[in-house]
Amino acid sequence: MQIRSMGVLYAAVVLTVSIQATEPTLSQEVVTGVTKLCKAPASSGDYLEYSAGGKLNVKFLSSGLKATITKKEWNGIQSVLKKQQLAENKNYRDCVTKLTPIIQKLVLTAEKKHPRPFPKTSSQKVLVGGIAEIALKGCQISSDTVICQFNVANTGNRDSYFTLAATNSFLFPDNGEKYKANQVGFGIKTSGDIIRKEVIQGVSYTSKLLFPKIPPLSQKVLKLEIAIMANNRWNKAVFRNLPLEH
């Protein structure tokens, strides 16, 4: 069966995660914090703290992130704030426009240098096709690529063939846009299209999907759709409101 024609055969299985992600995204925190900073440049110490060792404590981030910054970069930030203060806080939007990309770059660089452990969410499971159990381990972003890891197990009473499809698996990050997977991993096999594999009864297989070109400051996954054929039917395991680890 061609993967392009399988849309009408999907049986959508939806799991709504009980913990809703309501925290602001990292990008939103940066914009909000820089806006407050530009409106009160004389109180910059309440938002940014620079140490002689080249560390910048970005106080308005909930993560308490400390970024590495050069003296030149710090002087550039100070120059913008001093100009804003001399202008008696007029046209603060110009200040926000100049500082936001600088702070975002510092924050993103710091996030890349200090990756957190891959999230474990073993309680999030979906049963599709009556026999295929999808247990989501979590989703992690590195640069602009998201990797979602999960286990696939055969809960039926005999060995069976399952198929995972990258081409019809999708991820929706917090910008609400739809991104298609460009790689699937199923056990020891990887493919940019589909993988059909004999799955032994009672055995769990490590699996993954890769999604490219995701906004680097994304903080959560609104929806993840995993396309899988089990019991000779195409299904979609759907997970919602997932934390996106950096």
Q: What pLDDT, in 10s, does the model give residues 167-201? A: 999 999 988 899 999 999 999 999 999 999 999 99
User: Do residues 98 and 87 lie in contact, with contact meaning Cβ atoms separated by under 8 Å?
Assistant: no
- Counting Cβ atoms within 10 Å, is residue 77 exposed (0-12), middle (13-18) or buried (19+)? buried
Which pLDDT does position 26 carry in this prediction? 61
Tell me the C-alpha distance between 246 and 230, whole Å. Answer: 32
Nearest alpha-carbon partner for 210 in 114, 161, 141: 141
Strand, coil or helix: 135? strand
- Burial label for 155, CB within 10 Å (0-12, 13-18, 19+), is middle
CA distance 209 to 164: 9
**Per-residue confidence (pLDDT) for residue 22, from 0 to 100:** 39
Residue ranges of the domains in the chain? 3-17+124-245, 26-113
Three-class secondary structure of residue 76 per DSSP? helix
Q: Rounded distance, CA 211 to CA 184, Å?
A: 9
> What number does CATH give the domain 3-17+124-245?
2.60.40.10
The number of residues making up the chain comes to: 246
* Residues of the chain below pLDDT 70: 1-27, 52, 62-65, 88-90, 111-123
| Opening angle at CA 105, ends 76 and 137, nearest 5 | 160
pLDDT computed for residue 13 by the predictor: 34
Residues 6+ apart with CB under 8 A from 188: none
Partners of 153 in the beta sheet?
A: 133, 204
